Amino acid sequence: MKVSKGNYSKIKGCEIKQSRCGVHVTSAQPHILMNTLSNNYENGVFTETISNKRCDALITFNKIEKNKHNGILCQGENNHT
């Protein structure tokens, strides 16, 4: 699942598994809550910033397990996840 550039979406109650990356956020502000993110080939949740824009993702009450790389990875300046 990809969320990018100023998006304020809500990702709630999803089962995301066996994907490359569970949720990939680029300079956006989604609320990611009450999901199961498991067995993904990279990260469960990956947040990043581009062009010095902010990333303000809110990650609450998720079950994140057995991902190949990281459960949650936050990268870049102005990343306030």
Q: Give pLDDT tens digits along the chain (81 positions).
A: 999 998 999 999 999 999 999 999 999 999 999 999 999 999 999 999 998 899 999 999 999 999 999 999 999 999 999
Domain of residue 58 covers 2-75
CB of 80 closer than 8 Å to CB of 55: yes
Model pTM score: 0.94
Q: Is residue 24 part of a domain?
A: yes
Q: Is residue 58 part of a domain?
A: yes
Q: Is residue 52 part of a domain?
A: yes
Q: Is residue 47 part of a domain?
A: yes
In whole angstroms, give the CA distance from residue 63 to residue 54. 25
Q: Is residue 80 part of a domain?
A: no
In whole angstroms, give the CA distance from residue 42 to residue 50. 20
Structural tokens at position 67: 């991902």
Angle at 32 between CA 54 and CA 63, to 5 degrees: 130
Per the structure, how many domains does the chain have? Answer: 1
